[in-house]
Structure formats: structure tokens, C-alpha cells
Amino acid sequence: MKSLTAGDLEDCLMTKVGVRRQQLSQIVEEVQRVVHQLTTEISHQDIRFQAVPYSDTYNGNIKVLSPSRFLVTVPVKGLAGYREAREQRWRYYTLQGTRLSCPLQDPEGLQQWLEVEQFMKSLWQWHEADVNIEGDIVPAKVLQVFRKLVENAIGTCHLSGKVSMLTHHSAVWVAVETATWQVELELVPTVEIPTAWSEKARWPPCLRRWPSRQRVECIKSFGFALLARSQYHWQLSFLQAEQVLLAQLDEDGGCRSRCLQALRQMKEDVWCPGKRPVITSHHLQTVLFWTCEKYPHLKDWRVFSKAFLRLVRELHKCVSQHFLKHYFVRKSNLLRSANSGDLDAVAQRLALFLKNPQISLP
């Protein structure tokens, strides 16, 4: 271990970032082929699900949360012309078809109900009882249908030696054996809504210098999505909007992107390693967005070492407090369900680093 000069810090971390990028690009390439093959077969078996396209460049349907844990959004088909629900109603149903004496809990934070009548056009299959209860498209029912399709597709595509179902999850997870290491994928049926911006995302608040007003309008034009990840409520997602924000971070010549890459590298190597980390890439980019808002000027992002350590301090604050607001839906805490002990362990490692910034140098 060696104490770092500003130049050492950037050079060493960027070297490691380059190695990681090359390694991950090969893994993503393998995962893409498997996902495309599986979802193409699934789309042939059930018209409600689309194939995830194969892309030679960036694939917006595949989000790398950590080197061995990916989120894959699988678009659904046959729901168009979304509008927000205007009337509130109580739900007394269960997944098993029985009636409750008290209504189901209302959605909170990043969650919402989804009624088939919220779409101006819908395939008749979305009205069927295998996914619909009393007019609601129910994520747990969609996941039941989708899980069977994934299981069948693995066999039909002769991928049993490469892909296996992970059964200890309520969501749909598969393990993929790549040439480098095993990767776990969460395959999530996703309702893409490119024509609207969620009313829950009251963004941006007034008097914010970052991003610019023009950039805000561009980001909002990409809409949002709803992910089937729980029983009754759909989860709001802004993956496309976030990607646009990330892609245009350093148009002024700053070092925000490099800081994020370095932060991710240290998180994976030192602060929060392992197959199922409590802090993911999505948490890190959220910390960056908040820090960009807090420090909107180029002068704060000219010197890598200063900007990087500032970002580490912001991450340490969030992890220590077990509190990280979602960037677009600010009433939602992204660390709410995280294991407290795991967060405390990460906070301790971050504190040690900030006390004496060191990394292993080649």
C-alpha cells in the first residue's frame, strides 16, 4: 500500500478502469447473445413479450449493477397510449383469488398500481386472468407467466448447460456461465412508457443550476418505465433518462465520468466487493447526480483528485446515514431495504480510505 499523489490516484484508478471495461465488454457480449436468444424464443411463444435486441454498441436493456449481477429489462408488447390513473380505489383481492377484509396497502415511493384501462390501446391478452385481476395488470401474475416461458426457452434453445434458473427469488433470476465467470441476471418484464413523464417524479425542483433547462426537457422526453419486480405494485424506472444524463455529463470538459468510473472501481475492489454487493453501480450514479447538482460548476470538476475525494465523502455520508434519495422520485430512499450491517461495514471502509487515501499500486 502506498499513499497517493494526485497523479498516482488518477493514473492507477484509470488503468484499473480500462482493464475492467475490457473484461466486462466481453461478458456483456456473451450475456447479450444469451438474452437475445431466450427472449426471441419467448416472444414466439407469447405475443405479450418482445425480444431484447442485440446491439454492437450500448444495449439500453442491460444494466450492469456489479460485474456478476445484471438487470435485464424485457419489454412487453400490446400496451400503448398510457395515461395516469385519475380515480383511486381500494383493492381487496389476493393472488390466490380470495377476498380480503382490509384493502391492500397503497403503493409508496417508486411503486404504483397499473390498470389495463390506463392504456388507450391494449391487446386482449392483457385482459386475461393469467395476468389481470379486477382490471389490474398484476406484476406477480406477469412474473408467473414469464418464469414458465423462461424455463421453457432455456430447454428449447438448448442452453441448459449454460443457463440455469435461480429459484430462491420471487423475481425471475437466471445464472449464466460465461467464459470469465458466472453472472446472475434478473430478467424483468417492463412496460416502456416513452410518451409521458411520471407524476411521481417531480423533477427538477426549482432553482437548480444542473442540469440545464434544455437538458431537462431532453431527458423528460425519454419517458419512464414500469418494472414487474414485486407482488401487486409496479416499480418506476428511469434507466433511459439516467443514461442520457450520464452520456452528457462532461460536455464542459469536466471529470465527472472519470470520477464515477474510479468510484465504481474502488467500490468493487475494496469497499464493497462480492457477488451480491449492498451498494451497486446504480447507487453510485445516484450519488454522482446529487453531487453534480450540489456542485454544478466546471471549476468543481477540473481537478480529478479533489472531485473524486469529494464524491467519496458524499458516498460515505449516504451509506453512514443509510439514506440515499432516488434522483427523480425524491421521496424514495434507495437504501431503505439494504442490510444495515452491510452498510455499516462499507461506511467503515470508506471512512478508513478518507482518513488516509491509499490503494494498491502496481
On whether the CB atoms of residues 304 and 259 are closer than 8 A, the answer is yes
d(CA 151, CA 260): 37
Residue 285 lies in a domain: yes
Q: Which residues contact 342 (CB under 8 A, 6 or more apart)?
A: 278
Residue 325 belongs to domain with CATH number: 1.10.1410.40
CA 132 to chain centre: 26
Residue 190 lies in a domain: no
DSSP 55: -
Residue with cell 446529487: 290
Helix or strand (DSSP H, E) at 237: strand 234-237
Give tens-digit pLDDT for 247-292: 989 999 999 999 999 999 999 999 999 889 999 999 999 999 999 9
Between these two residues, 361 and 97, which has the higher pLDDT value?
A: 97
Residue 349 lies in a domain: yes
Query: Facing residues of 49 across strands?
Result: 76
Burial of 269 from C-beta contacts in 10 A (0-12 / 13-18 / 19+): middle
* Structural domain range at position 288: 249-356
d(CA 238, CA 163): 28
pLDDT at position 348, please? 97
pLDDT at position 361, please? 40
pLDDT at position 1, please? 45
Burial of 280 from C-beta contacts in 10 A (0-12 / 13-18 / 19+): buried
pLDDT at position 170, please? 84
| Structure confidence at residue 148 as a pLDDT band (50, 70, 90) | very high
Q: Average pLDDT for residues 146-157, to the nearest whole number?
A: 98
Residue 30 lies in a domain: no
Residue 258 lies in a domain: yes
Cell of 60: 439500453
Cell of 4: 497517493
Number of domains in the chain: 1
Is the pLDDT confidence value at 157 over 70? yes
Residue 253 lies in a domain: yes
pLDDT at position 359, please? 61
Percent of the chain residues topping a pLDDT of 90: 86
Q: How high does pLDDT run on average in the chain?
A: 93
pLDDT at position 357, please? 84
Between these two residues, 113 and 11, which has the higher pLDDT value?
A: 113
Count the alpha carbons within 13 Å of 241 in the hemisphere toward its beta carbon.
30
Give tens-digit pLDDT for 214-233: 999 999 999 999 999 999 99
pLDDT at position 360, please? 47
